[in-house]
């Protein structure tokens, strides 16, 4: 059965005769089935609240990554330490979706607080890749990508990325993942991993879907000090624009150490771009190798302070009040955090300790500046950067288990540089290796979402031919 | 840099995360390789640059001094309460 | 042996809302945890947003204390775990404090200000049990969590408690004049003091509330260290706290974890440039105590010492003086009465002018009653006691106590009576004994309950005696 596209569905939902109750029942039933099969959810919302006004997303099922607060619906960020936590407010992006008539159908699985690349560090459920259940979905927005691919109903996912958590699972599942410029979408209501890096974005089946949802969730929010004061934009307007004459840069460093076949598929993609009139040129970004350590230092330093608040007093997991506060907190955090969270909190504490702080934390902030400058130079000549999203295709669970922590961090080598610089990026499928999808990564200059979306849209159309 | 077990223990105390003897050993080894990887940034000698607090420069974002009460039950997510107070572990 | 004292002073900045959220900051009115929200309680997903008015007021303080002002305001996270910290870190400032290198001028020395920064107040803990050390658990009221504070750090420039007293009094007056601080609010000023005596290590006394306690704690601590040194015991570095009940500084138990604050820039907040703000606050800068003292001397012709007392004790007292001066023109007399009698009675009642029921019209009326000779100064000194305690109209006090002014007729009657009853003295006077006349005046005054002008009585007596003769 052909699944209706979001675009088709929204036309239908406008009609007065649309059977909402029947539709909802089918969606919930479907979610439960998908959950049994692939486990993308932490929470399924049985009775989504229905907005009275049918705005731009009438009755469109929307899933929300579980680190984004939903009023009255359990929000855990994938961590045991937040088990049972019911937020007293909606995240701004959720508010926006509800205002436009969207339906929040569930909270999707993720690595605990976003700490992971495969969505295997989740206390609740570990999503399986619908293409091959022995394989991971990628992470940390694994549940979002999994559901997007598996859903037999129209749906778009609100996901979130710190260092590639949207691009990676999109690449592994053959979906479209859009991460906007830092500050374009309000972070109010997002449970922080690393505040100077976190971005809320979307995963959809096709480029149109992510452009549509971005138009709803992007925009200034006075509740977030880092929200950018920019006018509301309809990003779907860019899609049909001509791409002839645009120039993209192909950075040499982004193909080093990448699976040969993956490189090949991406180059196939670049040829398609050429076919639709986009010029390309190879460039060098020599600072690329410093992005990963710089990113992890900043991310862990910030994360270790963000996670300090979880101590079993005011919300989430709590134990019997025993001992003094040091003993009590240490015990709650021992029980409530998973291994990767402990590792990152401890490393993050280390890199900001007196004596190490300047060499690690402060230096990393400076390196970030240099990397941003290097990107800015490229964008003074090019409209976008094109590269593989991930150096590998979706791995098997058993292979992931064998990896040492530092090897896992290395997997983010391609997604991290643009994310460290807060650049908008989109991962779109560009082919298959051993029947597993390969993602092509389009990276734009700050606030050039329109440009990368239209390249992606035109590419998608050509690629599907 | 060699990471001693005492360093891991000290950090775990600072971070208020109780860890077992086994974990200390494991983390000491892992931290050593991760911190070695972090130290790659030492290769960059250029330091005469402003640290980037955020990826894009955002400034002068603030609120005016207006008071508005938030209506809610702050105790609804905890069982550690007594009357209208939160209840916490003793200090000493 | 030299004493060295340095202070870290936390002052609450007066604003309508808290530092990073919109919760009202007049938490004295609230039930426990009533004035809280997900932001000041650090709920996951909440984000802080800086209160610009608090920043402006902090800048005014930095300016008033002659600091070099930072070009940008940046916030940092100071990490440490404690039940009163909603996020287990405090939003504060580290690398770039708002102000640096300032000073406050005392009567015979300058106290250098090392830095001034903004931070958020933690919550209030109630230790349930006998004491902090023996409590079973704590009750937490987060109303105070997130209230804006400035922390003012001095260099260790004080060499006596007297200087500390003078400094704190001046600082408080400066803050009051800036309109950024209300000394009446609970724990509105909290002080950490570092004390060292030549030859000993530095001792930190944490969290002393109120001026009087700072002085007591320091005096105690200096005496304690002296006696240790005298008996040859080395003063070791430690943190102590002032126990109000025991009237002593007590050693705090050594911390289990030696905190490393691990400061990072708060990535939820962005830098705020001060250049534009400085222009605005320059226009808002009011007259400060030093200028005001000069003006009082110049415009009211009062003594500098009096002006200092009026202005440095309590800004509201100075305002009161000026209000009175608008309707009462004998400024020197006014100053004398404010500095001596009014202040004495306020202190006696342990209140400030702002808390008392004293109204300027009624106070001036009291002075005018003296001027009109309705009451004597001596009587006025009695009346003001009740006046300050109750705020009652001085005329009413006079009436209730039967101290109504006496008319000329009453005095004449009394004079006649006195003459009749003291024939001997009258004769003595007529025989040229001047002392006898003074005696008669005294008797008359006594009968009049110290009311009535002695001069008038005297002249009436002379007049009557003369008429007796003729
Ligand atoms: Mg402080
Ligand atoms: Zn609040």
What is the tens place of the pLDDT at every residue in C266-313?
A: 999 999 999 999 999 999 999 999 999 999 999 999 999 999 999 999
Paired strand residues for A250: A282
Rounded Cα gap, residues C42 and A224, in angstroms: 14
Alpha helices in chain B (DSSP H): 5-14, 21-38
**Rounded distance between C-alpha atoms, residue C59 and residue A77, angstroms:** 39
Other CB atoms closer than 10 Å to residue B66's CB: what's the count?
Answer: 12
Sheet with strand C89-92: strands edge to edge: C89-92, C76-79, C264-265
Contacts of residue C347, defined as CB under 8 A and 6 or more positions apart, other chains included, come to: none
Whether A140 is a known active-site residue: answer yes
Which segments of chain B are extended strands (E)?
81-82, 85-89
Which residue shows structure tokens 């080093």?
Answer: A256
Say yes or no: C94 and C189 in one domain: yes
For residues C353 and C429, state if they share a domain. no
Query: What pLDDT is recorded for position A35?
Result: 98
Do C71 and C204 share a domain, yes or no?
yes
CA C315/CA C177 separation, integer angstroms: 6
Question: Quick check: A302 and C267 CB within 8 A?
Answer: yes
In the predicted model, what is the mean pLDDT of residues A222-236? Answer: 97
- Residue A315 belongs to domain with CATH number: 3.90.1300.10
- pLDDT given at position C465: 87
Neighbours of chain B (3+ CB pairs under 8 A): A, C
From chain C, pick out residues whose CB is under 8 angstroms from the CB of A69: 44-45
Answer yes or no: is pLDDT of B45 > 50.
yes
Contact between chains at B85 and C32 (C-beta distance less than 8 A): yes
CA of A330 to the centre of ligand 1 (A): 25
State how far the Cα of C470 lies from the Cα of C466, in Å rounded to an integer. Answer: 7
B86 vs C33: CB contact, 8 Å cut-off?
yes
**Do C136 and C27 have their domain in common?**
yes
Q: How many helices (H) and strands (E) does chain A have?
A: 16, 11
Q: ipTM value of the model? A: 0.97
State the pLDDT at residue A426: 98
Q: Which entry of A140, A170, A171, A304 is annotated as an active-site residue? A: A140
- Looking at chain A, the whole-number percentage of residues with pLDDT higher than 70 is 100
Tell me what pLDDT residue A1 has.
46
| Tens-place pLDDT, residues A315-361 | 999 999 999 999 999 999 999 999 999 999 999 999 999 999 999 99
Verify that C267 and C135 share a domain, yes or no.
yes
C-facing residues of A in 351-370 (CB < 8 A) are: 352-354, 357, 361, 365
Distance CA A145, CA A108 (A): 9
DSSP B42: G
Decide if C22 and B59 are in contact by the 8 Å CB cutoff. Answer: no
Q: What confidence tens digit (pLDDT) does each residue in A349-374 have?
A: 999 999 999 999 999 999 999 999 99
Per the structure block, which two tokens stand in for C161? Answer: 């408690």
A326: closest CA of chain B, how far (Å): 7
> Any idea which ligand is nearest the CA of C49?
2
**Is pLDDT of C470 > 70?**
no
Q: Is residue C52 predicted with pLDDT exceeding 60?
A: yes
Asked if the model's pLDDT at residue B91 lies above 50, the reply is yes
Biggest CA pair distance of chain A? 69
Q: For residue C460, what is the domain's CATH number?
A: 1.10.10.410
Write the pLDDT tens digit of every residue in A247-256.
Answer: 999 999 999 9
Question: Hey, which residues 141-170 in chain A have their CB within 8 Å of chain B?
Answer: none
Measured CA to CA, the distance from residue C210 to residue C204 in angstroms comes to: 17
How many domains, in total, are found in chain A? Answer: 1
**Contact across the interface for B61 and C129, Cβ inside 8 Å:** no
pLDDT mean over A452-462: 98
Cα dihedral C95, C97, C100, C102, rounded to 10, equals: -160
Task: Report how far residue A74's alpha carbon sits from residue B77's, in angstroms, rounded to the nearest whole number.
Answer: 11
pLDDT at C127: 85
Out of A17-31, A270-284, B73-87, C405-419, which region has the weakest mean confidence (pLDDT)? C405-419
- Answer for the pair A127, A119: CB distance below 8 angstroms, yes or no: yes
In this complex, is the C-beta atom of B14 within 8 Å of any C-beta atom belonging to chain C? Answer: yes
C119 Cα to the center of ligand 1, angstroms:
7
Query: Mind telling me how many Å the CA of C227 is from chain B's nearest CA?
Result: 30
pLDDT at C252: 81
- Residue showing tokens 């936590």: A85
Q: How far is B51 from chain A (nearest CA, A)?
A: 4
B77·A86 Cβ contact <8 A: yes
pLDDT, mean of residues A432-448:
98
Contacts of A362 in chain B (CB under 8 A): 51
Say if residue C10 is in the same domain as residue C143.
yes
Pick the range with the lowest mean pLDDT from A212-221, A346-355, C350-359: C350-359
Residue C463, pLDDT score: 87
> Same structural domain for residues C376 and C449?
no
A19 — pLDDT class (breaks 50, 70, 90):
very high
**What is d(CA C208, CA C189) in angstroms, rounded to the nearest whole number?**
9
Each residue's pLDDT tens digit, A57-112? 999 999 999 999 999 999 999 999 999 999 999 999 999 999 999 999 999 999 99
B74 reaches C (C-beta below 8 A): yes
Given a contact cutoff of 8 angstroms between Cβ atoms, the answer to whether A179 and A212 are in contact is no
Who contacts A402 (Cβ-Cβ below 8 Å, separation ≥6)?
none
Closest CA to C122 of C18, C50, C210, C47: C18
DSSP symbol at C131: S
A325/C83 Cβ within 8 A: yes
Length of chain A: 465
CA of A48 to the centre of ligand 1 (A): 46
More confident residue, C118 or C350: C118
Query: Does A346 contact B12 at a Cβ distance shorter than 8 Å?
Result: yes
Domain range enclosing A229: 1-465
For residues A368 and C182, the model is more confident at: A368
Band of the pLDDT at C259, cuts 50, 70, 90? confident
CA distances from C152 to C85, C97, C448 (A): 21, 10, 58
pLDDT for residue A2: 64
Contact A109/A127 with Cβ under 8 angstroms?
Answer: yes
- My answer on whether C307 and C376 are in the same domain is yes
Return the residue of A nearest to C41 by Cα. A314
Closest CA to A236 of A449, A464, A463, A3: A449
CA distances from C110 to C68, C153, C155, C156 (A): 16, 14, 10, 11
In contact, A205 and C247? CB cutoff 8 Å: no
Where a domain ends, among C367, C384, C400?
Answer: C400
pLDDT tens for A379-414 read 999 999 999 999 999 999 999 999 999 999 999 999
Classify C385 as helix, strand or coil: helix
Per the prediction, chain C carries an average pLDDT of 92
The yes-or-no verdict on residue B76 having pLDDT over 50 is: yes
Q: Closest Cα to residue A55, out of A6, A13, A18? A: A13
Residues C247 and C151 in one domain: yes
Give, to the nearest 10 degrees, the angle between helix B21-38 and helix A339-351: 50
Show residues of chain B in contact with C36, CB under 8 Å. Answer: 70, 74
pLDDT value, residue A383: 98
Q: What is the rounded distance in angstroms from the CA atom of residue C86 to the CA atom of residue A306? A: 11
A273 within 8 A of A455, measured Cβ to Cβ: yes
Q: Which domain holds residue C456?
A: 408-469
Provide the number of structural domains found in chain C.
3
Q: Mean pLDDT, to the nearest integer, of C173-186? A: 90
Residue C256 has pLDDT above 80, yes or no: no
Domain boundaries defined on chain B: 5-38
In terms of domains, do C246 and C310 share one? no
Virtual torsion, Cα C399, C403, C407, C412, nearest 10 deg: 150
- The vertex-B26 CA angle with B25 and B30, nearest 5°, equals 120
The catalytic residue among A39, A125, A165, A427 is A165
**A165 included as an active-site residue:** yes
């Amino acid at each position: 059965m052909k699944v209706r596209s979001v675009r088709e569905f929204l036309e239908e939902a406008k009609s007065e005769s649309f059977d909402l109750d029947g539709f909802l029942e089918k969606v919930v039933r479907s979610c439960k089935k998908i959950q049994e099969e692939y486990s993308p959810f932490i929470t399924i919302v049985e009775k989504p609240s229905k907005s009275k006004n049918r705005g731009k997303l009438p009755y469109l099922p929307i899933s929300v990554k579980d680190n984004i607060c939903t009023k009255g619906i359990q929000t855990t960020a994938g961590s045991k330490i937040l088990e049972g936590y019911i937020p007293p407010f909606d995240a701004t992006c959720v508010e926006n979706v509800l205002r436009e008539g969207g339906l929040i159908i569930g909270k999707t699985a993720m690595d605990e607080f976003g700490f992971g690349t495969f969505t295997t560090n989740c206390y609740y459920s570990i999503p399986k890749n619908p293409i091959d259940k022995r394989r991971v979905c990628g992470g940390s927005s694994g549940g979002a990508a999994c559901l997007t691919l598996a859903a037999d109903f129209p749906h778009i996912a609100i996901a979130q990325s710190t260092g590639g958590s949207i691009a990676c699972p999109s690449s592994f599942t053959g979906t479209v993942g859009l991460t906007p410029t830092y500050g374009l979408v309000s972070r109010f209501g997002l449970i922080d991993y690393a505040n100077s890096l976190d971005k809320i974005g979307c995963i959809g089946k096709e480029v149109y879907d992510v452009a549509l949802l971005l138009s709803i969730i992007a925009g200034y929010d006075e509740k977030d000090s880092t929200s950018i004061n920019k006018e509301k934009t309809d990003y779907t307007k860019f899609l049909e624009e001509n791409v002839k004459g645009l120039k993209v840069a192909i950075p040499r460093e982004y193909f080093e150490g990448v699976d040969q076949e993956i490189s090949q598929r991406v180059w196939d993609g670049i040829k398609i771009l050429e076919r639709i009139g986009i010029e390309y040129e190879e460039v060098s970004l020599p600072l690329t190798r410093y992005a990963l350590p710089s990113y992890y230092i900043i991310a862990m330093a910030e994360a270790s302070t963000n996670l300090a608040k979880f101590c079993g007093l005011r919300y989430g997991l709590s134990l019997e009040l025993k001992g003094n506060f040091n003993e009590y907190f240490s015990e709650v955090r021992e029980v409530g955090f998973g291994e990767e969270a402990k590792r990152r909190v401890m490393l993050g504490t280390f890199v900001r300790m007196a004596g190490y702080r300047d060499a690690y934390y402060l230096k990393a902030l400076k390196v970030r500046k240099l990397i941003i400058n290097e990107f800015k130079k490229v964008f003074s000549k090019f409209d976008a950067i094109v590269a593989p999203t991930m150096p590998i295709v979706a791995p098997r669970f058993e292979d992931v288990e064998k990896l040492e922590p530092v090897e896992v961090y290395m997997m983010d080598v391609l997604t991290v540089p643009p994310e460290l610089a807060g650049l908008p990026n989109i991962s779109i499928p560009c082919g298959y290796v051993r029947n597993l999808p390969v993602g092509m990564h389009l990276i734009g200059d700050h606030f050039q979402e329109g440009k990368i979306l239209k390249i992606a849209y035109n590419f998608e159309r050509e690629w599907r031919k | 840099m060699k990471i001693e077990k005492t360093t891991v223990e000290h950090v775990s105390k600072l971070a208020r995360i109780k860890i077992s003897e086994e974990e200390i050993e494991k983390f000491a080894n892992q931290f050593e390789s991760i911190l070695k990887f972090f130290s790659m940034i030492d290769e960059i000698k250029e330091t005469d640059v402003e640290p980037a607090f955020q990826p894009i420069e955002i400034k002068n974002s603030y609120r005016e001094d207006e008071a508005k009460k938030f209506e809610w039950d702050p105790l609804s997510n905890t069982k550690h309460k007594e009357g209208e107070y939160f209840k916490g572990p003793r200090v000493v | 042996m030299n004493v060295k004292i340095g202070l870290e002073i936390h002052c609450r900045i007066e604003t309508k809302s808290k530092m990073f959220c919109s919760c009202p900051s007049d938490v004295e009115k609230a039930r426990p945890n009533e004035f809280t929200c997900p932001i000041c309680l650090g709920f996951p997903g909440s984000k802080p947003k800086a209160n610009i008015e608090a920043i402006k007021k902090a800048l005014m303080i930095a300016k008033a204390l002659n600091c070099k002002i930072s070009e940008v305001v940046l916030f940092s996270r100071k990490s440490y775990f404690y039940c009163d910290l909603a996020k287990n870190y405090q939003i504060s400032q580290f690398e770039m404090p708002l102000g640096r290198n300032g000073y406050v001028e005392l009567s015979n020395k300058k106290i250098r200000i090392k830095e001034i920064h903004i931070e958020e107040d933690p919550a209030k803990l109630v230790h349930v049990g006998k004491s902090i050390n023996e409590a079973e658990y704590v009750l937490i009221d987060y109303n105070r969590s997130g209230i804006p504070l400035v922390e003012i750090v001095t260099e260790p420039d004080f060499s006596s408690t007297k200087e500390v007293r003078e400094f704190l009094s001046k600082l408080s007056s400066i803050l009051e004049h800036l309109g950024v601080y209300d000394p009446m609010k609970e724990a509105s000023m909290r002080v950490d003091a570092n004390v060292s005596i030549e030859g000993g290590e530095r001792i930190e006394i944490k969290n002393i509330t109120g001026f009087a306690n700072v002085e007591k704690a320091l005096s105690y601590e200096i005496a304690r260290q002296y006696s240790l040194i005298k008996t040859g015991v080395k003063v070791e570095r430690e943190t102590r706290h002032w126990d109000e009940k025991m009237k002593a500084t007590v050693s705090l138990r050594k911390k289990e974890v030696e905190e490393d604050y691990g400061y990072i820039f708060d990535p939820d907040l962005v830098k705020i440039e001060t250049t534009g703000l400085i222009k605005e606050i320059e226009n808002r800068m009011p007259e400060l105590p030093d200028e005001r003292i000069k003006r009082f001397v110049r415009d009211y012709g009062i003594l500098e010492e009096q002006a200092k007392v009026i202005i440095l004790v309590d800004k509201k007292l100075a305002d009161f003086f000026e209000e009175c001066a608008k309707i009462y023109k004998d400024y020197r007399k006014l100053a004398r009465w404010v500095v001596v009698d009014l202040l004495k009675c306020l202190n006696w009642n342990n209140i400030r002018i702002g808390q008392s029921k004293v109204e300027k019209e009624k106070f001036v009326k009291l002075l005018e009653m003296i001027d009109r000779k309705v009451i004597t100064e001596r009587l006025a000194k009695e009346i003001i006691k009740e006046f300050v305690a109750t705020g009652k109209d001085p005329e009413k006090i006079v009436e209730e106590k039967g101290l109504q002014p006496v008319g000329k007729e009453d005095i004449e009657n009394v004079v006649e009576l006195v003459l009749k009853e003291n024939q001997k003295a009258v004769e003595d006077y007529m025989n040229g004994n001047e002392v006898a006349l003074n005696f008669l005046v005294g008797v008359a005054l006594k009968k009049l309950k110290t009311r009535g002008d002695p001069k008038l009585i005297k002249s009436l007596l002379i007049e009557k005696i003369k008429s007796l003769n003729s």
